[in-house]
Amino acid sequence: MRILLLEDEESIRGFVRINLKRNEMEVLEAETGEAALALAETEGPIDIALLDVMLPTISGFEVCEQLRARYPRMGIIMLTAKSQEEDKIHGLELGADDYVQKPFSPGELIARIKSLYRRMTPVTAEQEQVQEQAAEHEHEAGAAAESRAEERAAAAAVEEAAASGVAAIPPAQQQAQPAFPYAGMHPELIVRPFRLSVSERKLWKRDREIILTPTEWTLVRLLMERVGESVSRDHILTEVWGRYYVGDLKVVDVNIRRIRQKIENNPSDPAFIETVWGYGYRWKRGVDE
């Protein structure tokens, strides 16, 4: 895994660098936003960028915005001061996948990086199970992970996809599907007018590809796999960001808002992702324009 680390304070940068390398990550370091953008262009591809907000020249926000525009599938984590709530929201609105509050522990930072990397990487159901178990053991608190055997057993009972893996799923069959099939169970999900490819990690609206960040893609997949169901913010947070995520629920709302900007004809009056007030969100069943 290749990490771009943008931090102007040498002491913090050195602390982060040591812990990243201990976890077998390759680190590219930059003290300024300009240097970070240059590294991304000349030393790419880069998997994940860690961006400090407060910098001597251009801010981490501007770097985030430019990186997201140039590399839509790059993972981006903002490093923010704990008291600066507006920084977190602003960074997410500009395309960041996650944020980590300063001061942070090495365990928390590594867990967030690995969680984001899993969202970026296509895996089979079996690999997803192994990675999830590893993530639980890596958590700094060493909390014993609760068994997900029942959940996975339910997923394993899902009908296998059609042999071609590309046929449209009739609405009646969509209703009969279990709540949340895991990765690898269906090569494609089709909820008109959208088609989502699990293996390619891409989304199309009719014949036009919708460019999504890793986190946006995972969130869209979760809602499409539970089409017609109300999914709570808490459940979205756990499934997309991980069960040990300690951030704010606003991260869900900001990502939903970004997705609507990309898929809806009128984001202020969404036709596909419905808000369930006081609870969460629902991908409407059988909607077409």
Across 222-254, b (16+ Cβ under 10 Å) vs e yields bbbbbbbeebebebbbebbbbbbbebbeebbbb
Q: Are residues 111 and 169 in the same domain?
A: no
The confidence score (pLDDT) of residue 286 equals 65
- Of the candidate ranges 10-14, 25-29, 118-122, 189-193, the one whose mean pLDDT is the lowest: 118-122
Note whether 181 and 239 are within 8 A (CB).
no
Q: Judge whether 289 lies within some domain.
A: no
Q: Are residues 115 and 187 in the same domain?
A: no
Q: Are residues 109 and 178 in the same domain?
A: no
CATH code of the domain covering residue 227: 1.10.10.10
Kindly state the average pLDDT of the residues 35-47: 91
Q: Judge whether 54 lies within some domain.
A: yes
Q: Are residues 109 and 164 in the same domain?
A: no
122-146 pLDDT, tens digit each: 654 444 445 455 545 544 443 333 3
Q: Are residues 7 and 88 in the same domain?
A: yes
Q: Are residues 267 and 209 in the same domain?
A: yes
Q: Judge whether 142 lies within some domain.
A: no
Q: Judge whether 150 lies within some domain.
A: no
Q: Are residues 103 and 170 in the same domain?
A: no
What is the tally of structural domains in the chain?
Answer: 2
Last residue of a domain, one of 120, 141, 175: 120
The confidence score (pLDDT) of residue 186 equals 55
Q: Judge whether 134 lies within some domain.
A: no
197-219 pLDDT, tens digit each: 888 888 999 889 999 988 899 99
Last residue of a domain, one of 65, 96, 120: 120
pLDDT tier, 115 (very low <50, low <70, confident <90, very high otherwise): confident
CATH code of the domain covering residue 106: 3.40.50.2300
Q: Judge whether 185 lies within some domain.
A: yes
CA of 124: how far to CAs of 3, 105, 148, 155, 224, in Å? 24, 31, 17, 13, 18
Note whether 155 and 125 are within 8 A (CB).
yes
Q: Judge whether 148 lies within some domain.
A: no
Beta strands in 93-252 (DSSP E): 98-102, 188-191, 194-197, 202-205, 208-210, 230-232
User: Does the pLDDT of residue 251 top 90, yes or no?
Assistant: no
- The mean of the pLDDT values for the chain is 78
> Higher-confidence residue: 230 or 171?
230
Query: 3-state SS of 6-75?
Result: ECCCHHHHHHHHHHHHHCCCEEEEECCHHHHHHHHHHCCCCCEEEEECCCCCCCHHHHHHHHHHHCCCCE
Q: Are residues 110 and 164 in the same domain?
A: no
User: Does the pLDDT of residue 15 top 60, yes or no?
Assistant: yes
Phi and psi, residue 275, nearest 5°: -80, 130
- Give me the domain span that covers residue 73: 2-120
Q: Are residues 217 and 275 in the same domain?
A: yes
58-80 pLDDT, tens digit each: 999 999 999 999 998 899 999 88
Last residue of a domain, one of 70, 99, 120: 120
Q: Are residues 110 and 211 in the same domain?
A: no
Q: Are residues 177 and 102 in the same domain?
A: no
Kindly state the average pLDDT of the residues 34-50: 92
Q: Judge whether 137 lies within some domain.
A: no
Q: Are residues 116 and 193 in the same domain?
A: no
pLDDT tier, 19 (very low <50, low <70, confident <90, very high otherwise): very high
